[in-house]
Amino acid sequence: MPADPISRLAAALGSSVGAEVTLERPGEAEYGDYATNVALQLAGSRRRPPRELAAEIADAAAGLEAVERAEVAGPGFVNFFLRDEWFAAALGEILAAGDGYGSGVAEPRERVQVEMVSANPTGPILVSHARNGAYGDSVARLLELAGHEVAREYYYNDSGLQMERFRASVDAVRKGEPVPEDGYHGDYVRDLAAVDGDPVPAMLESMERTLERFRIHFDSWALQSVVEERLPELLPRLDTYEKDGALWARSSAYGDEEDRVLLRSGDRSPTYRAADVPYLVDKLDRGFDRAVYVLGADHHGTRNWYAAVARMLGYDPARIEVLLYQPVHLTRGGEQAKMSKRRGDVVFLDEFLDEIGVDAARWYLVNRGPDQAIDIDVDLAAERTQKNPVYYVQYAHARIAGILRNAPDNASDNLSLSSPLAPEERELVKRLAELPSVVADAAAKRGPQVVPAYAIRLADDFHRFYHEHRVLESEQQAFRLGLCRATQTVIARCLDLVGVEAPERM
RNA sequence: GCGCCCGUAGCUCAGUGGACAGAGCGGCGGACUUCUAAUCCGCGGGCCGGAGGUUCGAAUCCUCCCGGGCGCACCA
């Protein structure tokens, strides 16, 4: 038996029709509470006029307890009008589920590793890294809600050329020498130079602080130097060849666009790509069913490399998943933003957070689908006003908290109705009932952007309800209090999925 | 040249096979003695980049073209 009221209604209709019925919410009130186009879709294969099929579905639906009436409309839609009792029962179920409402029981339940951000410790976390983290972390939260076990990992290069340059830059400052042209410049290098010891751990600590501030917590940190230790033992298991003095992986034969160099000509040192091999093996050997890589779209050229490595080593490539996202551009009143005086056009996440706040930052960075480039007007995003959807949603939560604070302790929780439901109440219940399908869809398509979009619609429905109806000391106080509690829970859930706080007061 | 992403209202974007294409911002006008007015209500704006095709039906699927972004390292 499906867990939520809508899919149960759909299932009941489906069994009476002998086909899967999908319900949608029509845009117009005259088309009922829910509608289905199943008659149109079935008309072809069953060689029947769509309206005739629709009439049969409508007849069958009329026999269901929840359905007040069903109408055939247009070319063959069936519109369902539901009884108030269905709304009360649906709300009751949502309240009974409590904080667990929307959570799933994944089949099969997977152990998933989400590797994200993974910026090398040569400088502070940037806004571009923040999109990686905001997106990856929201996907991780969605997978957890769907019932999977998720671990977040940060991978970084602690050896190699870039790190040498970084250390050399800090050393140069300490000796009072000029920083090499190909080194790292900026105030943070001076700050690191002021303290003795290896600057890399200090840099990492600072980066972790920024990420924690951004509400991203990593379960583990993987070092390339450690990972690389297993490279010699794995190289013989790969499909490789020698060319121009270098060792190449024959990855093009395994679904990659091209072959990749593993050991450089000359000193035969491993490339960054080479370290991917032991790292991938490490991930899968640690018992993860699925390894998710979150990468900027500028890395899409290596998208198929990881799966190719898996194939080469005999692992199921379906266990490897690469998620790509488009870049972030900051503007200030339409102008290309140059927020950081220290490093030209790159923007430090900490400065960005100082300016617009963590809530707005997380919201804006997951508000768009990963395939969409993001333009953020920093001045606009910094405004704590109605222009900013994140506060609109938070305000709905805080408003509810206010009502619940004022509610009597002995308020009844009996949802039975004493008078017909108002349109705003019905709309709100239907919106709440959408949550399970919204989060399931978001998790399945790795598209957390549908969550804030849904949260806005929910806040919209709530604000309208609030404006039209009094909750406390109203004729239907119990039902309306229930509606408030359920709405608050669902808003809090949505905000949590995005990494935004749900305030009790604003 | 090849590959990936994008092109929808003045701006930022939803909508990826169905009923007249939606929202926010910006503009104008209304609503607080009442649980938070960071709210609500009303008024505009679009040959869905272009051309073909598939379908009963296309913003949505296919092909080509145009425009923008990003890749095509023994850098990460």
Q: What is the CATH number of the domain that holds A458?
A: 1.10.730.10
CA dihedral A214, A215, A219, A223 (to 10 degrees): 0
Q: Which nucleotides of B are covered by protein (CB under 7 A)?
A: 3-6, 12-15, 18-20, 22-26, 34-41, 56, 69-76
A221 phi and psi, to 5 degrees? -125, 125
For the CA of A393 and the C1' of B15, the distance in angstroms is: 21
How far is it, in rounded angstroms, from Cα A414 to Cα A396? 24
Q: Count of domains in chain A?
A: 2
Cβ distance A179 to A323 under 8 Å?
no
Placement of tokens 């199921």 in the chain: A316
Handedness of CA A303, A140, A397, A505 (dihedral sign): negative
- The reply to whether A324 Cβ lies less than 7 angstroms from strand B is yes
For the CA of A458 and the C1' of B10, the distance in angstroms is: 28
Segment A71-80, tens digit of pLDDT:
998 888 899 9
Q: Would you say residue A339 has pLDDT above 60?
A: no
Residues 6+ apart with CB under 8 A from A421: A84, A87
User: What integer best gives the mean pLDDT of chain A?
Assistant: 89
CATH number of A58's domain: 3.30.1360.70
Asked if the structure places residue A258 within a domain, the reply is no
- For residues A246-279, one letter each, b for 16 or more C-beta atoms within 10 angstroms of the residue's C-beta and e for the rest, the string is ebbbebeebbbeebbbbbeeeeeebbeebbbbbb
The conformational region for residue A222 under phi > 0 = left, psi -120 to 50 = alpha, else beta, is beta
Residues 6+ apart with CB under 8 A from A135: A116, A294, A323, A325, A365, A366, A370, A448
Q: Which nucleotide is nearest to A273 (CA to C1')?
A: B76
The DSSP secondary-structure symbol of A348 reads B
For the CA of A443 and the C1' of B60, the distance in angstroms is: 22
Q: What average pLDDT does this structure show over A404-420? A: 84
Segment A161-181, tens digit of pLDDT:
888 889 999 999 999 988 888
DSSP letters of A81-117? EE-HHHHHHHHHHHHHHGGGTT----SS--EEEEE--
Placement of tokens 């319900």 in the chain: A23
Segment A25-44, tens digit of pLDDT:
887 777 889 988 888 888 77
Q: Which nucleotide is nearest to A120 (CA to C1')?
A: B76
The conformational region for residue A272 under phi > 0 = left, psi -120 to 50 = alpha, else beta, is alpha
| pLDDT confidence tier of residue A341, bands split at 50, 70 and 90 | very low
Within 170-209 of chain A, which residues have Cβ less than 7 Å from strand B?
Answer: none
Segment A204-215, tens digit of pLDDT:
999 999 999 999
Asked if the structure places residue A375 within a domain, the reply is no
CA atoms within 13 A on the CB side of A204: 17
Segment A253-304, tens digit of pLDDT:
998 989 999 999 989 999 999 999 999 999 999 999 999 999 999 998 898 9
How far is it, in rounded angstroms, from Cα A171 to Cα A164? 10
A82 phi and psi, to 5 degrees? -100, 155
Name the helix (H) or strand (E) containing A261: strand A260-263
- The reply to whether A397 Cβ lies less than 7 angstroms from strand B is no
Angle between helices A358-366 and A389-406 (to 10 degrees): 120
Asked if the structure places residue A299 within a domain, the reply is no
**Residue A489 confidence (pLDDT):** 96
Placement of tokens 């309306």 in the chain: A480
ipTM value of the model? 0.93
Within 280-309 of chain A, which residues have Cβ less than 7 Å from strand B?
Answer: 297-302
How far is it, in rounded angstroms, from Cα A502 to Cα A396? 10
How far is it, in rounded angstroms, from Cα A461 to Cα A458? 5
Segment A90-137, tens digit of pLDDT:
999 999 999 999 998 777 899 999 999 999 999 999 999 999 999 999
Cβ distance A209 to A202 under 8 Å?
no
Residue A292: count of CB within 10 angstroms of its CB: 24
Asked if the structure places residue A77 within a domain, the reply is yes
Q: Would you say residue A155 has pLDDT above 60?
A: yes
- The reply to whether A246 Cβ lies less than 7 angstroms from strand B is yes
Count of all residues that appear for chain A in the document: 506
Q: Which of A60, A65, A75, A179 is nearest to A122 (CA)?
A: A179
Asked if the structure places residue A466 within a domain, the reply is yes
| A424, two tokens | 């705003």
Segment A457-479, tens digit of pLDDT:
999 999 999 999 999 988 889 99
Query: If you compute the radius of gyration of chain A from its CA atoms, what whole number of angstroms results?
Result: 28
Q: Would you say residue A18 has pLDDT above 80?
A: no
Within 356-375 of chain A, which residues have Cβ less than 7 Å from strand B?
Answer: 368-369, 371-375
Q: What average pLDDT does this structure show over A196-211? A: 94
* Residue that finishes a domain, picked among A63, A82, A101: A82
The DSSP secondary-structure symbol of A160 reads S
Q: Which domain holds residue A71?
A: 5-82
DSSP letters of A351-377? HHHHHH-HHHHHHHHHSS-TTS-EEEE
Asked if the structure places residue A395 within a domain, the reply is yes
**Residue A246 confidence (pLDDT):** 94
Asked if the structure places residue A490 within a domain, the reply is yes
* Residue that finishes a domain, picked among A59, A82, A105: A82
**Residue A25 confidence (pLDDT):** 84
Q: Would you say residue A227 has pLDDT above 80?
A: yes
* Residue that finishes a domain, picked among A28, A48, A82: A82
Asked if the structure places residue A39 within a domain, the reply is yes
Q: What average pLDDT does this structure show over A43-52? A: 80
- The reply to whether A384 Cβ lies less than 7 angstroms from strand B is yes
For the CA of A391 and the C1' of B24, the distance in angstroms is: 13
Q: Which nucleotide is nearest to A296 (CA to C1')?
A: B70
Placement of tokens 């017909």 in the chain: A420
Which residue is closest to B22 in terms of CA–C1' distance?
Answer: A27
Sequence letter at residue A423: P
- The reply to whether A406 Cβ lies less than 7 angstroms from strand B is yes
Name the helix (H) or strand (E) containing A71: strand A67-73
With helix as H, strand as E and coil as C, how does A203-251 read? HHHHHHHHHHHCCCCCCEEEEHHHHHHHHHHHHHHCCEEEECCEEEECH
For the CA of A130 and the C1' of B67, the distance in angstroms is: 30
For the CA of A337 and the C1' of B18, the distance in angstroms is: 43
Cβ distance A461 to A427 under 8 Å?
yes
